[in-house]
Amino acid sequence: MQRKRIWTGAAGVGAAGLRRGVLALLVAFVASGEAWASPFLFLDIGGDGPDGMVGVGVSKQVEILMSEVPPGSDGRGLFGFGFSITYDTAGIEISDLEFGPLFDGTGFDDTRDDPGNAGLTSNRFFQASGPFGDDILVATVVVTGLEEGTFALTLDPFSGVGDNVLFDNSVLDADPDFFQDGSIIVTPEPGSLALLGAVALPALVHRRWRATRGRRAPRAGASAAPAP
């Protein structure tokens, strides 16, 4: 990511002027900072991104990540996060809620594992700083397909706006685009597809046998009669 810096020349002459010039440079650098885009929280379903696929009775791990996290005015990065996933229990199940390594035992945390609503929240209260940048793994869950169809995975705050915050108290989740929803397609279980093939193949062979039954093989040197 490119750094946007504004440089100004030193003002004045002599030691006092040099000090003012250096101070102006520092103020300009801090004010300009990094050109960070808006932070956002998103899902990665088994490495397929926010929109994934799973079979009936099959499970996949879902990573919850945060990107475009600035270091903040104090350079200490992300203090805490919180999210919930709302989903349709008729089609999928979410289990095995785990904190990412950077937020496991680093402060105060909580989980919610209710039918149709799963979430985690944690902070780095016992740490001096936190991560910033892209693809910060904050948590993982496991999703299991129950019924064929397409099902939404809706991200929301764990308790409210302010769950996701920097050490300098900058709130990240006030932006309506902070939470990036996902979806998952549940496909028929592989066993049912194999069973369908096992049923269809004998039926096809039987139809071909009936169509050829009663026909004699041509004698040596004779040509087969054309099929009607």
Query: pLDDT confidence of 19, banded at 50, 70, 90?
Result: low
Residue 94: inside a domain? yes
117 to 17, 51, 95, 158, 182: CA distances (angstroms): 61, 18, 11, 10, 14
Q: What is the mean pLDDT of residues 12-38?
A: 50
Domain co-membership, 67 together with 6? no
**Tokens in use for 190?**
């592989």
Specify if 81 maps to a domain: yes
Whether 202 maps to a domain, the answer reads no
Question: Are residue 24 and residue 46 in the same domain, yes or no?
Answer: no
Question: Which of 219 and 124 is assigned the larger pLDDT?
Answer: 124
- The reply to whether 78 and 24 lie within a common domain is no
Q: What is the pLDDT of residues 135-158, one digit of tens each?
A: 999 999 999 999 999 999 999 999
Is 228 a member of any domain?
no
Which of the two residues, 45 and 202, has the higher pLDDT score? 45
Residue 126 is part of a domain; what is its CATH number?
2.60.40.680
Bridge partner list, 149: 186
Average pLDDT taken over every residue of the chain:
80
Domain enclosing residue 27, as ranges: 1-35
Asked if residue 18 and residue 51 are part of one domain, the reply reads no
- When divided into structural domains, the chain yields a total of 2
> Are 90 and 1 found together in one domain?
no
151 with 106, same domain: the answer is yes
Kindly report the pTM of this predicted structure: 0.71
pLDDT of residue 189: 77
- Please tell me the predicted confidence (pLDDT) of residue 140: 98
* Continuous segment of H or E residues that includes residue 195: helix 190-212
What pLDDT does 196 receive? 47
Name 217's Cβ contacts closer than 8 Å, sequence gap at least 6.
none
> Are 59 and 144 within 8 A, CB to CB?
yes
Interval 177-197 mean pLDDT? 79
Q: Would residue 171 count as lying in a domain? A: yes
Q: Is residue 164 part of a domain?
A: yes
- Is 63 in the same domain as 27? no
Whole-number pLDDT of residue 36: 75
User: Do the bridges between strand 149-156 and strand 109-114 make them parallel or antiparallel, or are there none, so unpaired?
Assistant: unpaired
10 and 57 both lie in a single domain: no
**Same domain for 26 and 83:** no
Name the band, by pLDDT with cuts 50, 70 and 90, for residue 31: very low
DSSP state of 56: B
Same domain membership, residue 57 and residue 21: no
Strands, E, within the chain: which ranges? 40-45, 51-55, 59-67, 78-86, 92-99, 109-114, 117-123, 136-145, 149-156, 165-166, 182-187
Q: Tens of pLDDT along 42-93?
A: 999 999 999 999 999 999 999 999 999 999 999 999 999 999 999 999 999 9
Residue at 207 is within a domain: no
Are 103 and 140 found together in one domain? Answer: yes
Q: Is the pLDDT of residue 202 over 60?
A: no
Q: Which residue has the higher pLDDT, 11 or 46?
A: 46
Are 94 and 121 contained in the same domain? yes
Q: Which residue type is seen at 89? A: T
